[in-house]
Amino acid sequence: MGVMRIGHASLKVMDMDAAVKHYENVLGLKTTMKDKAGNVYLKCWDEWDKYSLILTPSDQAGLNHVAYKVEKDSDLDELQKKVEAWGVKTTVLPEGTLPSTGRMLQFNLPSGHEMRLYAMKEYVGTEVGTTNPDPWPDGLKGSGVHWLDHLLLMCEMNPEAGINTVADNTRFMTEALDFFLTEQVLVGPEGNMQAATWMARTTTPHDIAFVGGAKSGLHHIAFFLDSWHDVLKSADVMAKNKTKIDVAPTRHGITRGETIYFFDPSGNRNETFAGLGYLAQRDRPVTTWTEDQLWSGIFYHTGEAVPSFTEVYT
């Protein structure tokens, strides 16, 4: 089967205590372990593997790597061949490189972002279990997010210099990792240049997204909530915790998602995201947004540009 879903994101944070407080009290994650290097590992209540977020101490914010889980260990060998056939160098990291995790296939996307694939991570179960479970656990903190849902990566794009790593990443993810395209933004004089793409391996509108920018970086990591009401409640939680909000609750045209964007104490952008939008399938026609309707695609209610949304990232 190959890649199944997003497994975890590893983020750099400048104040570990403040970061842990944010992810526990605002989003509702639970710390599952800490290691001798000072890294902290957390999970959401509706996830069954040991962690989906790694926080690492650093003097700057940003993404260390993103990891996706594959179905079988043998998939790593098959995918290594496909990745290297694409001209991308790979490294096999032995089991235990990350705690409670099997061997990993490590490589960089054309945009320079580090990606890892793995097949095994320690199973710990959800907070409600698998036998006669309640719909949610008691004692949820903050927004009570269900799971790490996706991330969006900013990719260097300079058409005048012939650089478009959005398009490069999109081809790589399709040809080497068997993702499929769900939505795209096309720009340029002929309206045929990919400035942003949303891609899936599951049935949700996106498991990863790429947007063009002045340089590569992390735009946001997103956590899933059930409903629009939960998104509004998450904004209340953020206000109570004095969390810096980037974009107040609204709807995307792209993916049809209901959303709020905000920052962790180091400046890494987060999203709480609700609404499955539509059933993503390989034979579903790709949705295309034109340059003149870009901001309606991003913020459907107002259709107005928010410059910080595309200019500020880590």
Give the model confidence (pLDDT) of 54-91 as tens digits: 999 999 999 999 999 999 999 999 999 999 999 999 99
Q: Please say if 8 is a catalytic residue.
A: no
Catalytic residue among 22, 113, 150, 219: 150
> Looking at residue 179, what is its pLDDT?
98
Is the residue at 138 inside a domain?
Answer: no
> Looking at residue 190, what is its pLDDT?
87
Residue 143 DSSP label: T
Query: And the tokens for 7?
Result: 């497994």
Domain that holds residue 33: 3-118
Are residues 96 and 153 both part of a single domain?
A: no
Identity of the residue numbered 287? T
Is the residue at 112 inside a domain?
Answer: yes
Are residues 247 and 185 both part of a single domain?
A: yes
Are residues 166 and 292 both part of a single domain?
A: yes
Catalytic residue among 206, 219, 258, 313: 206
* C-alpha span between 112 and 303 (Å, rounded): 31
Q: Please say if 206 is a catalytic residue.
A: yes
The count of C-alpha atoms lying within 13 angstroms of the C-alpha of 55, restricted to the half-sphere facing its C-beta, is 27
Q: Please say if 219 is a catalytic residue.
A: no
> Looking at residue 283, what is its pLDDT?
97
> Looking at residue 276, what is its pLDDT?
79
Task: Count how many domains the chain has.
Answer: 2
> Looking at residue 277, what is its pLDDT?
85
Per the CB < 8 A criterion, the answer to whether 158 and 42 are in contact is no
Give the residue from 73, 101, 118 where a domain finishes: 118
Q: Please say if 146 is a catalytic residue.
A: no
CATH number of the domain where residue 184 is located: 3.10.180.10
Are residues 8 and 114 both part of a single domain?
A: yes
Residues of the chain with pLDDT under 50: none
Give the residue from 103, 118, 133 where a domain finishes: 118
Q: Please say if 252 is a catalytic residue.
A: yes
Are residues 12 and 72 both part of a single domain?
A: yes
Are residues 196 and 71 both part of a single domain?
A: no
> Looking at residue 25, what is its pLDDT?
98
Is the residue at 99 inside a domain?
Answer: yes
> Looking at residue 191, what is its pLDDT?
86
* C-alpha span between 142 and 15 (Å, rounded): 20
> Looking at residue 4, what is its pLDDT?
97
Q: Please say if 220 is a catalytic residue.
A: yes
Other CB atoms within 10 A of residue 27 CB: 26
Catalytic residue among 23, 41, 118, 261: 261
